[in-house]
A and B are shown apart, each in its own frame.
Chain A
Amino acid sequence: QSALTQPRSVSGSPGQSVTISCTGTSSDVGFYNYVSWYQQHPGKAPKVIIRDVTKRPSGVPDRFSGSKSGNTASLTISGLQAEDEADYYCCAYAGSYLWVFGGGTKLTVL
């Protein structure tokens, strides 16, 4: 059960779009449509922004979207805003009541 692979950092200017990848295996990301994404600001608990690969929980802006292809899931943030600067984590179900997180990606809004 290895951590999912995310880029350590990404950046973009206000108004631009950025995409964060999350690569797993055919046993987790590639097998189940149970990838979720969490946003974490410094000193705060994480907050879900995408669940079940593509679904946005109530209250999450539609600037956030998720997708998956093969063993890689992606989070796209369009129309970047200053408040989007945070750490982002993917999480995937790996079967048998096991879950795994990605290593996290720091998003910098330039």
Chain B
Amino acid sequence: QVQLVQSGAEVREPGASVKVSCKASGYDFISYYVHWVRQAPGQGLEWMGIINPSGGSTTYTQRLQGRVTMTRDTSTRTVYMEMSSLKFEDTAVYYCARAVGNWIDSWGQGTLVTVSS
């Protein structure tokens, strides 16, 4: 079955960077785009961007442009989301999610990133 397994919780200081991984299994890795979505505590879902695992092309929300980078490693079937210049308001659960057409059919378990001094 389709599985997306994310890396564990992280704590960073403001201004630092964090890299979250998402390992895919159970399907043809390069055939499905992967979204990244985050959710701040008690808040709604925010779409961050999308990566095509086949060629590595990416599109990011304008709000995070310049601070977020999504990459993939086809040899390990893993996508990564790196965010730099972290701010307190970046504290959130970060999800990777598989795209099927224009919707999402599978989600990772989420990774809590806490930005704290």
A-side interface residues toward B, CB under 8 Å?
1, 3, 32, 34, 36, 38, 40, 45-48, 51-52, 57, 87, 89, 91, 93, 96-104
Contacts and interface: CB of A to CB of B under 8 A. Distances in A.
A contact face: mostly helix, strand, loop, or mixed? strand
Interface of B: 35, 37, 44-47, 50, 59, 61-63, 95, 100-105, 107-110
A1 B44 contact: no
Nearest 10 A-B pairs (CB), nearest first?
Answer: A34-B102, A104-B44, A97-B59, A45-B107, A51-B103, A36-B103, A101-B45, A93-B102, A99-B47, A103-B44
Contacts of B105: 48, 57
Contacts of A98: 47, 59, 61
Contacts of B100: 51
A15 to B, nearest CB: 28
Nearest to A36: B103
Contacts, number: 64
Given A97-B59, A101-B37, 4 more contacts: A1-B62, A3-B44, A52-B103, A101-B47
B47 A91 contact: yes
Contacts of B61: 1, 98
Contacts of A32: 102
Contacts of B102: 32, 34, 36, 51-52, 93, 99
Contact of A48 (B35, B37, B104, B109): B104
Contact of A46 (B45, B46, B62, B63): B45
Contacts of A48: 103-105
Nearest to A8: B44
Contact of A99 (B50, B62, B108, B110): B50
